[in-house]
Amino acid sequence: MTKQFPALAVLLAVGLALSAPAHAEDYPPGLMYSTLLNGVKIIHTTGQFTLDRIQAVFLPAAHSETSIYPYNPDDGGKLWAILSTSGGAQVYRFDFYADDFHPPYWLLNSYSATDLRSGESLGSGSVDLSAPGDYELNFYLESGRFYTFPFSVSNLSSADPFAGGDYYFLNGPWEDWAYLYYRDADLNNSIQFKVWLRLYEHAQPHDVKPEIEVRRGGDLVATTRQMTITPNHTWNRFEFDLIYPMENTSGGAYFKARDLLAADGDYTLTLILDGQKYATWQFKIVNGALNYTGRTLRSQANPLTFIEGGRDAWWYEKE
């Protein structure tokens, strides 16, 4: 039987994923999913909606004679988003100023917003999205739509008349998706679990004690350090370093990516908040590499909803 070398298998798998297709221009344009979840925002007290520093990848080359932004609404390439209701009524348009800060990454620095119902130009600030309902944010190039992002807005009223008005919340992929990350896909780096959390209550934020259990079969293989976090009313990304379980002979020790990837199998990662199970994600390690599946599998996923993690993030949907 041929001996397996997990570290070599990971490097080969990453190399194959990045080398096919061979050129950046052969990839369809997309959005870095972590920046999309970070960048789509609502102010919980007012319902004001913004798009903040989303990153795109593999955009066509663009040029401007007058602006530092190759993509801009004036004389550069055209890159914009349309926010629509679930019924198809167009509400707002966002025309972006984008800069290729580190190929193949483009930063959507700012935008000029337009109210498509009135035709009014709203400038670069926030827009009102206090009406509850289902929405869809579609991103366009001159060649057509290249990404779609559905979400909804809900509101909560307080039973206390002295507590202020409604609170507004975004609902959608933040609730389901999280990822494992190790920088630059370097096996010697620490491995982290990153997840979005928020407080869905008309109440003051309070401290929460998180725990993580990573299991292969019934065996606990990794956990995280004791800490306290304070989720608030907007989605925020929290990062947890994995460590060896305390009952392990290396309990609490620095846990590298190679320590997790050394054993193939089916894994579960469970997040526990204040002693109560929050959610569980499943993943596999195959030939010493984390698996891609469904919307994260580049060769099979629909480009309009493909979850782009770059070279060092592996995304999973909760059970």
CATH number, position 241: 2.60.40.10
Please identify, among 122, 142, 171, the residue that sits at the C-terminal boundary of a domain.
171
pLDDT at position 23: 67
CA distance 118 to 173: 30
Residue 287 belongs to some domain of the structure: yes
pLDDT single digits (tens) 218-241:
899 999 999 999 999 999 999 999
Q: For residues 179 and 269, is the Cβ–Cβ distance under 8 A?
A: no
Distance of CA 289 to the CA centre of its chain: 21
Clarify whether residues 198 and 303 are in a common domain: yes
Same-domain status, 306 and 180? yes
Residue 3 inside a domain? The answer is no
Which of 140, 171, 202 is a domain's end point? Answer: 171
Choose between 17 and 49: higher pLDDT: 49
Higher pLDDT, 159 or 315: 315
Q: Same domain for 182 and 165?
A: no
- Cα 289 from Cα 280, distance rounded (Å): 20
15/23 Cα distance (integer angstroms):
13
Which residue, 171, 200, 230, sits at the end of a domain? 171
Residue 197 sits in the same domain as residue 163: no
Does residue 216 form part of some domain? yes
**Could you list the residue range(s) of the whole structural domain that residue 282 is in?**
175-317
| 12 belongs to a structural domain | no
Same-domain pairing of 227 and 141: no
Do 90 and 191 reside in the same domain of the chain?
no
- Please report, in angstroms and rounded to a whole number, the separation of the first and last CA atoms in the chain: 36
pLDDT above 60 for 170 = yes
Domain assignment present for residue 166? The answer is yes
> Would you say residue 11 lies in a domain?
no
The answer to whether residue 35 scores a pLDDT higher than 80 is yes
Question: 269-299: b or e for each residue (b if 16 or more CB lie within 10 Å)?
Answer: bbbbeeeeeebebebebeebbbbbeebbebe
User: Does residue 285 register a pLDDT over 90?
Assistant: yes
Q: Do the domain assignments include residue 6?
A: no
Looking at the structure of the chain, the number of domains it has is 2
Beta-bridge mates of residue 257? none
| Co-location of 190 and 122 in the same domain | no
> Look-up: residue for tokens 């507004």?
168
> What is the overall mean pLDDT for the chain?
91
